[in-house]
Structure 1
């Protein structure tokens, strides 16, 4: 009876976790002084032979901000600020409206909501469900092959053109498929989002990560490719093996999955429909519009560097075309009003994920922002952590760089933003420590990419979890083991690279 009365531990909701992280950040502003760096514009050659310019900090220019009496400034945040200020209770609104349409938070929030709406229209046509049932019928006995094939493709997407937020849309398609095949939502997240981040972390040519980091660190852009290609192959193989083994266990006993309860949202459709399905011409046209749209997106990203504004519009177009096809062919008895209702429902389903993105951005805002030229507690934290590697042995210095980038990614998830902030600090420090700048770049990209799989401040991760109807707390319970594994393997690669003088 006593055991029955004991309450089972329940992982806090993601909103609760972020609230307490923001509270901790607010308390830090009373303890740590503000600091700032001098900044300068640097121009570097990109991977395609063009030029790019970034505002970066000047190494060794850090200064603690002092008041008129020469005392360090510790301006703890107020409980509330008017006039558009950033008080503790302002973090939700200020986080949601921060940034611009090109990135976090407001751009990513809009991106998530529009993608949700577009796929709400697509799901209204039932073309995805009917296609899944048709695929199951034609892949009996070979369904497990979807795991390695999709994992490698998405890993390549992350390595070649920095795929990240785009995985949200693909997760919406593949998660219902893998659940219908007997797996779970976590398997779908692994072969989509996690695969992209393994590719992102180990890339030899990602224009949004390694290329910018090498340019800022004054390392030949896209150099060291053979080492990184081998690293990509190794980590992709590890990811495939881990996912394949996990998925096989879940297929034997789906109740072992931490997402078993939330997967019911997808399983109920499989139970209620005839597995033979009624996949007709209209459904084929909807699927074709999705495929053509994805090709259009990949072409735009690779050839014209399309990003959040363009990709969001492309997905909206895909959803609109699918809705029109649904009305013409009377798919699921669709009417014009159903297009609007589908968009509304899809946007509503991803609204929690969009809110979390904005709230998570509030952490950085409370710490004073991520501008190295403006006084902030975050600058003080970054300088203290970066300076801690001085005087350490070469291998240990390289590993601390990796650890620093992994932790710092919690605050600045943007790959290009983190490169511009940390590489000007770590590149000269690596010279002092006897570590090549190429190794410093390697520590950056592994620390950035790998932790994108777990930090709740990652907009792409929260968007994918929203598509999977999976709470971050449950995702953490699953991914932490894999996170530890790849951190250990990543440490081995960084230390090895330092010892062999990778340059």
Structure 2
């Protein structure tokens, strides 16, 4: 897909260079050239902030790796040792968290909150000089995550209702009845087709996974296919819709910045999208067969 996209993009660029497709951009692009003279000075304070930001992500990555699976007990031993210190362990709340390698949403949320507070404290004079509220800045950043959080919550609620009402079992039974005579390749293709309209309805990839995987995974087991095949079908179908569906905020924002209408975008990328579908179906079928 990457090779096909590069070839297609270069072919399009060659035509643009030759003077074609002049009307593709209906309005002027809002992108502006970077004024290197106006770039803020990379001071020691900004270097420190970027260091804290990078260190936060480093801790997050380390915290999500299951070190015990590799027989590395360094972090568990350190956590046990820290928990044995009477006063310090209570101050740090060691008893309310787990060792690195076993972290999840609660611990990671606390990590980024602490990191944000440290950065806000270091750069407090900068906020004051620009007359910008630290709280408002934090809230503005959080607003961008709320829509995804709501979608995930709603998707999870749908899954719970379907499971509690026996609807999920009914769908699985229908899937087993309809697909039990199909081989793994055909099942993967049907799953891909299933995910295309579903990706349009639920644009969030995480929300779509939360809503559908509890149903699709058991169907794969029942018909003798692999969960990996279903995941590839989900990822490729959802990825395709993310590049073309008008419900995708990042796509529409990018088109707006570039000054390109949605109609023009669909018209130009439709050939490569069809090619992506063919490649995806072939990959899913081969995975299901082997």
Please give the residue correspondences for 1:187-206 in structure 2 after superposition, counting only pairs within 5 Å.
none
Change (3 A) 1:262 1:449: same
Do residues 426 (structure 1) and 186 (structure 2) align? Answer: no
Residues 423 and 441, structure 1, Cα contact 8 Å, conserved in 2: no
Do residues 369 (structure 1) and 158 (structure 2) align? Answer: yes
**Structure of higher CA gyration radius:** 2
Do residues 313 (structure 1) and 88 (structure 2) align? Answer: no
Change (3 A) 1:237 1:472: same
Residues 297 and 311, structure 1, Cα contact 8 Å, conserved in 2: yes
- Which residue of structure 2 aligns with residue 296 of structure 1? 55
Residues 399 and 443, structure 1, Cα contact 8 Å, conserved in 2: yes
Secondary structure class of the residue paired with 1:338: coil
Secondary structure class of the residue paired with 1:337: coil
Residues 196 and 238, structure 2, Cα contact 8 Å, conserved in 1: yes
- Which residue of structure 2 aligns with residue 474 of structure 1? 262
- Which residue of structure 1 aligns with residue 140 of structure 2? 347
Q: TM-score, normalised by structure 2?
A: 0.55
Residues 409 and 447, structure 1, Cα contact 8 Å, conserved in 2: yes
Shift of 1:490: 0.8
- Which residue of structure 2 aligns with residue 446 of structure 1? 236
Do residues 277 (structure 1) and 77 (structure 2) align? Answer: no
Please give the residue correspondences for 1:82-101 in structure 2 after superposition, counting only pairs within 5 Å.
none
Do residues 462 (structure 1) and 256 (structure 2) align? Answer: no
Q: 1:337 aligns with which of 115, 131, 144?
A: 131
| In structure 1, C-alpha distance between the alignment counterparts of 2:126 and 2:275, rounded to whole Å | 45
Residues 395 and 495, structure 1, Cα contact 8 Å, conserved in 2: yes
| In structure 2, C-alpha distance between the alignment counterparts of 1:473 and 1:245, rounded to whole Å | 21
Please give the residue correspondences for 1:401-440 in structure 2 after superposition, counting only pairs within 5 Å.
401-410=191-200, 413-414=205-206, 417-418=210-211, 420-431=213-224, 435-440=225-230
Structure that is richer in helix per residue? 2
Shift of 1:313: 3.5
Residues 398 and 440, structure 1, Cα contact 8 Å, conserved in 2: yes
- Which residue of structure 1 aligns with residue 275 of structure 2? 485
Instruction: Please provide the CA RMSD for this pair.
Output: 5.1
Change (3 A) 1:283 1:358: same
Stretches of structure 1 lacking an aligned partner (at least 5 in a row): 1-234, 328-333
Q: 1:388 aligns with which of 169, 173, 178?
A: 178
Shift of 1:255: 6.1
Shift of 1:347: 2.7
| In structure 2, C-alpha distance between the alignment counterparts of 1:360 and 1:472, rounded to whole Å | 28
| In structure 2, C-alpha distance between the alignment counterparts of 1:251 and 1:318, rounded to whole Å | 49
Please give the residue correspondences for 1:22-37 in structure 2 after superposition, counting only pairs within 5 Å.
none
| In structure 1, C-alpha distance between the alignment counterparts of 2:23 and 2:43, rounded to whole Å | 35
| In structure 2, C-alpha distance between the alignment counterparts of 1:379 and 1:369, rounded to whole Å | 14
1:208-245 Cα shifts (integer Å, max 9, x gaps): xxxxxxxxxxxxxxxxxxxxxxxxxxx34444555565
Q: TM-score, normalised by structure 1?
A: 0.36
Equivalent pairs, count: 241
- Which residue of structure 2 aligns with residue 496 of structure 1? 286
